[in-house]
C-alpha cells in the first residue's frame, strides 16, 4: 500500500545536500528566505512577549533549534539559541529560559505572553530530546548539541525532569534518576536524534555523538551515528536501546543502505495503531558509520516502528498526483500529528 500525502506541514526548509560534509555545529546563517528567520517588524512583539534578556527590537534576528513539547494546557519550548545583530554581524547566545505558552486561552501574536521558567540546572544545548509524560505530569530532557564548551555536560550521564506548577504556567527542573544507572551510563548522549513520546515511553531514534555531546567521543572530529533507538519508560524509569539492524541493513528501500544510520529526522506518535501504538519517522539523513558521508532520507519511503510487535516497517508514500506530490527531503524539520476522520491521522 502507498499512503497519500493529504496534508504536509513543515517548518524547516533546510534540505540535505547529498554527501555534504557533516556540519556538527550551528554557525549562524542569516540568509534571506531562511524558513526560521524572523523579520524585524515582527520582533517588536517578540520583545513585548518575552521580556528578560531579549535583544532590542531592531537587532533581533531569530530563535533557532529549540525543542517543543505539549504537556497539559501548555506548550513548553526549551533549548536552542537566539541571535541578534551587533554592528552588522550576528551574535548568538543560548536560550537561558524554558518558555511556557498557554494552549487553554485565546491569544494572538499581539497579545501572547510567554512565561519564562528557570533552567540554570540544565546544559545549554541545541535541539535537546524533549519528552512529555502526561500520565506522570512531567517533561524529560536528554542530550542535544552543546552550545559552547561544557565539560560538565559532556562528561556526565544526566537527564532532567520538569515538574509543572501553577497549572503549568510555572514549574521546576531537577536531575532525574534512572532505575538502572549502569545501563543508562552505557548510552551515549545524542545530537539530532528523532524523538517523540508515545503511550508512556520516550523514544530517540539515531542521531550522532561527538565531543560536544559526550566525552567518550572527544577524539572524533566528526559525529558518529548512534545506530539504535534509545527508549525511556517514564513509569519504570528504565532505559533501553532498540536495534536498528532490521531496518537499516536490508537492501530494498530507503533504509536499504547498509552502514548508514538515521540522524536529523523528526518523529510522531500514532497512539492507536497496532496493539500499542506506532512511531512514524520523517526524513533527515543517513550518516555513514564512520561519520564521513551522508545521504538524504527521502519521504517516499518512511520508517515506522510497531511498538507492540517490536517491528520496523518501511511504508511507501505518494502525493495526490503521484510521486511528484511527495515533499522534498529535509532535515531538522518539525512534524505534528492530529486525529483525522474515521480513525485516521493527519500528519
Ligand X SMILES: *[C@@H]1O[C@H](CO)[C@@H](O)[C@H](O)[C@H]1NC(C)=O
Rounded Cα distance, 281 and 297, in Å? 10
Binding status of residue 157 toward ligand X by CB under 6 A: no
Binds ligand X (CB under 6 A): choice among 22, 126, 141, 158: 158
Give the nearest distance from C-beta 328 to ligand X in angstroms. Answer: 26
Helix or strand (DSSP H, E) at 45: helix 40-49
Binds ligand X (CB under 6 A): choice among 27, 31, 32, 87: 87
Give the nearest distance from C-beta 118 to ligand X in angstroms. Answer: 6
Binding status of residue 45 toward ligand X by CB under 6 A: yes
Binds ligand X (CB under 6 A): choice among 153, 162, 281, 312: 153
With respect to ligand X, which residue has the nearer C-beta, 193 or 317? 193
Binding status of residue 31 toward ligand X by CB under 6 A: no
Q: Which stretch binds ligand X (CB under 6 A): 133-141, 149-157, 162-170, 319-327?
A: 149-157
Cα within 13 Å of Cα(291), Cβ side: 16
With respect to ligand X, which residue has the nearer C-beta, 15 or 57? 57
Closest alpha carbon to 304 in 293, 292, 315, 317: 315
Helix or strand (DSSP H, E) at 40: helix 40-49
Binds ligand X (CB under 6 A): choice among 13, 18, 35, 42: 42
Q: Which stretch binds ligand X (CB under 6 A): 6-14, 122-130, 161-169, 277-285?
A: 122-130
Residue 175 to residues 30, 219, 299, 306, Cα–Cα distance (Å): 35, 28, 37, 31
Which residues sit opposite 67 in a β-bridge?
78
**Other CB atoms within 10 A of residue 74 CB:** 22
By CB under 6 A, the count of residues binding ligand X is: 31
Binding status of residue 241 toward ligand X by CB under 6 A: yes
Helix or strand (DSSP H, E) at 171: strand 170-175
Which residues sit opposite 132 in a β-bridge?
139
With respect to ligand X, which residue has the nearer C-beta, 12 or 40? 40
Give the nearest distance from C-beta 299 to ligand X in angstroms. Answer: 24
Closest alpha carbon to 76 in 36, 145, 132: 132
Binds ligand X (CB under 6 A): choice among 36, 85, 97, 257: 97
Give the nearest distance from C-beta 227 to ligand X in angstroms. Answer: 4
Place of cell 560538565: 152
Helix or strand (DSSP H, E) at 285: strand 285-288
Binding status of residue 171 toward ligand X by CB under 6 A: no
Are the beta carbons of 255 and 248 closer than 8 angstroms? Answer: yes
Rounded Cα distance, 193 and 267, in Å? 9
Rounded Cα distance, 250 and 342, in Å? 34
Give the nearest distance from C-beta 101 to ligand X in angstroms. Answer: 14
Binding status of residue 228 toward ligand X by CB under 6 A: yes
Sign of CA dihedral 308, 194, 80, 70: negative
Q: Which residues bind ligand X (CB under 6 A)?
A: 42, 45, 52-53, 86-87, 96-97, 109, 116, 118, 120-124, 150, 152-153, 156, 158, 187-188, 190, 226-228, 230, 241, 341-342
Amino acid at each position: 500500500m502507498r499512503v497519500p500525502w493529504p496534508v504536509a506541514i513543515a517548518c524547516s526548509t533546510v534540505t540535505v545536500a547529498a554527501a555534504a560534509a557533516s556540519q556538527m555545529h550551528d554557525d549562524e546563517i542569516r540568509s534571506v528566505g531562511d524558513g526560521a528567520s524572523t523579520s524585524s517588524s515582527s520582533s517588536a512583539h517578540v520583545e513585548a512577549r518575552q521580556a528578560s534578556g531579549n535583544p532590542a527590537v531592531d537587532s533581533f534576528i531569530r530563535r533557532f533549534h529549540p525543542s517543543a513539547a505539549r504537556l497539559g494546557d501548555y506548550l513548553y519550548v526549551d533549548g536552542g539559541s537566539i541571535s541578534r545583530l551587533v554592528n552588522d554581524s550576528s551574535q548568538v547566545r543560548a536560550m537561558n529560559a524554558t518558555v511556557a505558552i498557554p494552549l487553554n486561552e485565546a491569544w494572538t501574536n499581539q497579545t501572547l505572553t510567554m512565561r519564562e521558567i528557570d533552567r540554570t540546572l540544565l546544559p545549554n544545548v541545541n535541539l535537546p530530546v524533549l519528552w512529555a509524560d502526561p500520565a506522570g505530569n512531567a517533561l524529560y530532557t536528554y542530550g542535544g548539541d552543546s552550545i559552547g564548551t561544557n565539560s560538565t555536560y559532556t562528561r556526565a550521564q544526566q537527564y532532567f525532569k520538569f515538574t509543572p506548577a501553577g497549572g503549568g504556567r510555572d514549574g521546576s527542573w531537577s536531575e532525574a534518576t534512572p532505575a538502572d544507572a549502569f545501563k543508562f551510563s552505557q548510552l551515549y548522549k545524542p545530537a539530532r536524534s528523532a524523538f517523540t513520546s508515545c503511550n508512556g515511553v520516550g523514544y530517540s531514534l539515531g542521531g550522532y555523538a561527538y565531543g560536544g555531546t559526550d566525552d567518550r567521543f572527544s577524539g572524533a572530529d566528526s559525529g558518529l551515528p548512534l545506530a539504535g533507538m534509545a527508549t525511556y519508560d517514564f513509569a519504570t524509569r528504565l532505559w533501553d536501546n532498540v536495534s536498528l539492524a532490521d531496518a537499516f541493513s536490508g537492501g530494498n528501500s530507503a533504509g536499504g543502505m547498509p552502514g548508514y544510520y538515521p540522524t536529523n529526522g523528526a518523529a510522531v506518535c500514532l497512539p492507536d495503531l497496532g496493539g500499542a501504538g506506532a512511531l512514524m519517522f520523517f526524513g533527515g539523513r543517513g550518516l555513514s558509520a564512520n561519520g564521513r558521508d551522508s545521504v538524504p532520507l527521502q519521504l517516499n519511503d518512511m520508517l515506522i516502528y510497531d511498538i507492540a510487535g517490536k517491528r520496523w516497517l518501511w511504508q511507501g508514500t505518494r502525493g495526490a498526483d503521484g510521486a511528484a506530490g511527495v515533499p522534498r527531503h529535509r532535515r531538522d524539520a518539525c512534524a505534528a500529528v492530529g486525529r483525522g476522520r474515521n480513525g485516521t491521522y493527519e500528519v
